[in-house]
Amino acid sequence: MNVSDSEVVLSVLQQAGYSLCSKITEASLILVNTCSIRDNAEQKIWSRIDYFKSLKKRRKGLTVGILGCMAERLKERLLEQSVVDIVAGPDSYRDLPHLLNELPGGEKQINTILSLEETYADISPVRMDKNGVSAFISIMRGCNNFCSYCVVPYVRGRERSRNPQSILNEAKELFNNGYKEVTLLGQNVNSFNWRATDQQSSFKEDISFSKLLEMVAQISPQLRVRFSTSHPKDMDDSVLTTMVKYSNICRHIHLPVQSGSDSVLKRMNRKYTRKEYLLRLEKIKKMLPDCTISTDIIAGFCGESEQDHLDTLSVMREAGYYTSFMFQYSQRPDTTAAQQLADDVPPRVKNSRLNEIIALQNELSHISNKADLGNEVEVLVEGFSKRSKAELSGRTSQNKVCIFPAGEHKVGDYVKVKVTSCSSATLKGEVIS
């Protein structure tokens, strides 16, 4: 989401006459797009701010701005840092040229007003990822779920869906410019809902997420479509039915479970039980047998017992995740958990539980990859492999990284590959001629 937002910022600034430079030491303006989701994400920014102090001593006239969720959360506290000139929250990037113009007057500038509308629909993001194959499209902003541990609803505001016509235009333009894959992004994409009656709309009917997904998939069978993130409580059958209809909608669903224990899920305010989650997975596997599932897991949430932790390990085994994003619980100020629940799992225990979760995930990833040995997969090439220019790297529809000898193939090609070996992280294969 932050990569996507940075592309909006670049677009806004380019229109105001700025251009991107390749070295930070050459920049006259440095903007940092920040994340508040865990404390260590914020700690990284504090050390960056220290580094900017040393840069500013060497470069007269250097302007430093802090953008994103940390700007929204800490507001004036960031401006108190002598090195910070501008603080701009996630909904105020259109205002950046104005804030920059006001600076020479001597006053530091701040805008952290959250919007009730999708604010960037008509901005064409300038892609920063240079592979020219795969791009993010932001389809909604904010979150209404208020999971008890999570700071996102406070720093990104309420859920707002973007005008579907502008999403379709962006996807078509990307495809016409040679892109082969788009990822529809939102904190909770399944609750995308554009109401025809609410706003000026070229659509006569309301547009749900599954309808939007279908319209994007119809742009071309040569355009792969992904989406992230789905909330298990909102992931309904209509999305699965649409996926079955269009083979260019990738066979991968990111479905964060967070915990395998019902009592922890309840304290997290996730609004589903372990059983309901597993039934969802059963339905996915029935309708889309070749679909991979990935997840997010939090270790050591408030009140998590050893048994709760074992329940998380067992849900991972039952789900057979091909990959996971795994975190230690980090208390975030102002959230319900911070206000009402004790952060009572000792750091040492959080750490050892996280390590057990990671070790199990490595095992599961390896099992999932081994199941592909001998299979034929279609890889969309994204670049050279890290090790060698003689090998290309790309992803399968299931979102697995696959490496194979380059031959005549190039970035942006769809290549049929037979999987011949694997590690827990990567598939390796040979081109099927």
CB-wise, 142 or 429, nearer to ligand SF4?
Answer: 142
Q: With CB cut-offs between 5 and 8 Å by kind, which of ligand SF4, ligand 5AD, none does residue 352 bind?
A: none
Residues in the site for ligand SF4, rule: CB under 6 A? 143, 145-147, 150, 152-153, 187-188, 231
Residue 330 interacts, among ligand 5AD, ligand SF4, none and using kind-specific CB cut-offs from 5 to 8 Å, with ligand 5AD
Name the residue nearer to ligand SF4 (CB basis): 142 or 394: 142
Q: Residue 148 or 248: which CB sits closer to ligand 5AD?
A: 148
Q: Which two tokens stand for residue 320?
A: 């057979």
Q: How far is the CB of 325 from ligand 5AD (least distance, A)?
A: 6
User: Which residues contact ligand 5AD by CB under 6 A?
Assistant: 37-38, 149-150, 256, 258, 296, 298, 327, 329-330, 332
| Closest approach of ligand SF4 to the CB of residue 138, in Å | 14
Compute the least distance from the CB of residue 149 to ligand SF4, in Å: 7
Q: How far is the CB of 331 from ligand 5AD (least distance, A)?
A: 7
Residue 146 partner contact from ligand 5AD, ligand SF4, none using kind-dependent CB cut-offs of 5 to 8 Å: ligand SF4
Out of ligand 5AD, ligand SF4, none, what residue 327 binds, judged by CB under 5 to 8 A for its kind, is ligand 5AD
Q: Which does 38 bind (CB under 5 to 8 A by kind): ligand SF4, ligand 5AD, none?
A: ligand 5AD
254 binds, among ligand 5AD, ligand SF4, none (CB under 5 to 8 A by kind): none
Give least dist CB 228 to ligand 5AD, A.
10
Task: Please give the span between the terminal C-alpha atoms of the chain, in angstroms, as a whole number.
Answer: 38
Q: Which is nearer to ligand 5AD, 73 or 332 (CB)?
A: 332
Q: State the minimum distance, in angstroms, from the CB of residue 87 to ligand 5AD.
A: 22
Instruction: Pick one of ligand 5AD, ligand SF4, none as the site partner of residue 11 (Cβ within 5 to 8 A by kind).
Output: none
Q: Which is nearer to ligand 5AD, 325 or 414 (CB)?
A: 325
* Residue among 150 and 243 whose Cβ is closer to ligand SF4: 150
